[in-house]
Amino acid sequence: MNKSKIYDNILDIAETLIQTQGYNAFSFRDIARTIGIKTSSIHYYFPTKAELGKAVVARHIDTLHAELVQVLENEAISYKKKINLFLNSVFSKTYASNRKMCLGGMLASDVLTLPETIQFEVRVFFNRIEKWLEQLLSQGKTKGYFHFTGTAKREAEFILALLEGSLLLARLFQNEDKLKIARKKIESHLF
Amino acid sequence: MNKSKIYDNILDIAETLIQTQGYNAFSFRDIARTIGIKTSSIHYYFPTKAELGKAVVARHIDTLHAELVQVLENEAISYKKKINLFLNSVFSKTYASNRKMCLGGMLASDVLTLPETIQFEVRVFFNRIEKWLEQLLSQGKTKGYFHFTGTAKREAEFILALLEGSLLLARLFQNEDKLKIARKKIESHLF
DNA sequence: GTCTATATATAGATAGAC
DNA sequence: GTCTATCTATATATAGAC
């Protein structure tokens, strides 16, 4: 059911804060100030920071995954286009807006300081994406659209790692060219 | 001159804490407790956290850079070996010990919350490494040892991004295989 | 150079009035 | 459901005794 507008609002702001500043740098205060409520009101919706964090990642996974599954299943979309849609989701969409890092990548760097429940979700995040990508690569290779060497799993791992690193450095230098370079490298690997 | 044993000790511990937990998750208290002194004693050596952080990165850059320059200039080392030594410095050495992330990579993810002086140092860190790598790749290509397409600069950017992403994910999943995959990818690009 | 004591700000969290 | 008030812990930082 509808979990109220404020509930979603809190999640939205928390998500943005994690993507820009990281888990340890954001506070209930930041969120409260932005919405115009008190921190105790946030505790009404999310008893602890750990639960808020977990909810942010869980929602993010669901949204992204639903999006990706639709792309994979749509036979009207070419394989080249599918890869491009994927890169857009994880890439330009996050970075282009306000120097956001990938949510999973940000939390991966905070991993040793995260509550275990959130650590778990972060791994789910990457497992899901990797699995999806592996499937796409595998299918595309069988059908003759992709031409990489090695397993689809390895290729998926490679692409994900390159993606995360490129986002990190593009953001640091505020240089979108670094994203383009990664994109081209990935494409030159597959086509 | 010798800046005293405690001075270095503080830097060592701060460096490790940043590489494992990030800039915002470490405190003077953590360091004080580890060494067995009071936080006010740390302020004697480093008036502010920003100055401590800056000193950590500056020292790290100097050490790593000196190491890399020696490798580049030593004509007794093959180009293949030079690349391997580089990957060892930035890679296995950091990760293998206690799930450390690359210092620069960790601070890159914290970048929007860092004091400007540290932001600046982080960019110096990557500029230095990239420049060094670009030189190595360029020389090696001219001499016929490397066979990549495109500019040495682009190739250096690619390698660095892949490196950072691989470290991040290898650490998250405590899976060193992810480092090996990146290594092989890089080698297959160059040889 | 290291300590105690303290200042000030902020964190996450809870109780209970409205 | 949102507030005020409060708790406890922790953060960075400074003053000044020893």
Q: Is B20 inside a domain boundary?
A: no
Instruction: Give yes or no for CB of A117 within 7 Å of strand C.
Output: no
Q: Is A97 inside a domain boundary?
A: yes
Interface of A with B in 139-178 (CB under 8 A): 154, 157-158, 160-166, 168-169, 171-173, 178
Threshold 0.85, pTM exceeds: yes
pLDDT at position A2 is 65
Strand D nucleotides in reach of protein CB atoms, 7 A cut-off: 1-5, 10-16
Q: Is B17 inside a domain boundary?
A: no
Domains of chain B: total: 1
Q: Is B125 inside a domain boundary?
A: yes
Whether A16 has its CB under 8 Å from any CB of chain B: the answer is no
- Residue B70 sits in a domain whose CATH number is 1.10.357.10
Q: Is B18 inside a domain boundary?
A: no
Q: Is A159 inside a domain boundary?
A: yes
H/E stretch holding B159 reads helix B152-173
Burial class (CB within 10 angstroms; exposed 0-12, middle 13-18, buried 19+) of A65: middle
pLDDT confidence bin for B95, thresholds 50/70/90: confident
CA distance B4 to chain A (A): 31
B83 touches B136 (CB < 8 A): yes
A170 touches A90 (CB < 8 A): no
Smallest Cβ–Cβ distance between A112 and the set B20, B111, B163 belongs to B20
Mutate to test the interface with B, among A172, A178, A183 (most CBs of B within 10 A): A172
pLDDT at position A97 is 75
Q: Is B161 inside a domain boundary?
A: yes
Find the domain containing B182 and state its range: 50-190
Q: Is B3 inside a domain boundary?
A: no
Contacts of residues B181-189 at CB distance under 8 Å and 24 or more positions apart, as own/partner, are: B181/A154, B181/A157, B181/A158, B181/A161, B182/A158, B182/A161, B183/B87, B183/B91, B185/A158, B186/B83, B186/B87, B186/B159, B186/B162, B187/B83, B189/B148, B189/B155, B189/B158, B189/B159
A53 touches A118 (CB < 8 A): yes
| DSSP sequence for B59-109 | HHHHHHHHHHHHHHH-TTS-HHHHHHHHHIIIIIHHHHTTTPPPHHHHHHH
pLDDT tens track, chain A, 191 positions:
567 999 999 999 999 999 999 999 999 999 999 999 999 999 999 999 999 999 999 999 999 999 999 999 999 999 999 999 999 887 777 887 789 999 999 999 999 999 999 999 999 999 999 999 999 999 999 999 999 999 999 999 999 999 999 999 999 999 999 999 999 999 999 98
